[in-house]
Amino acid sequence: MTTPDNVQCMAMIKISSKVEEAEWRTLQALAKESHQSISGLLTEAIGDFIRKRRLRPVVLSHLQDSISDNQEMGRGLVE
């Protein structure tokens, strides 16, 4: 089987987990409404979760640097 040049083939692994029944039913409904597979939705959600968790420390570090760099200006605004 061949794929177009712009499509990446990624290795997939099978996972197993437990979720609350109500959440599972909601996920099934969302998959049906959005015409996506549950696997696709879970892959997207896991990717979003990872990006969020990895981005947060970087953002907080930049925020702390900015606060440190602008302490004098901040004191001026308070006065």
Alpha helices in 1-79 (DSSP H): 21-34, 38-69, 71-78
pLDDT in tens, 11-56: 989 999 999 999 999 999 999 999 999 999 999 999 999 988 877 7
In a domain, 58, yes or no: yes
What's the total number of domains in the chain? 1
Full-model pTM: 0.58
Q: Is residue 49 part of a domain?
A: yes
Residue 60: domain span: 23-70
Instruction: Copy the structure tokens of residue 49.
Output: 């979760």
At 75, give phi and psi (nearest 5°).
-65, -40
Residue 75 domain flag: no
Q: Enumerate residues 6+ apart whose C-beta is below 8 A from 19.
A: 27
Strand, helix or coil at 19? coil
Residue 12 in domain: no
> What does the radius of gyration of the chain's CA atoms come to, in whole angstroms?
22
pLDDT reading at 7 higher than 70: no
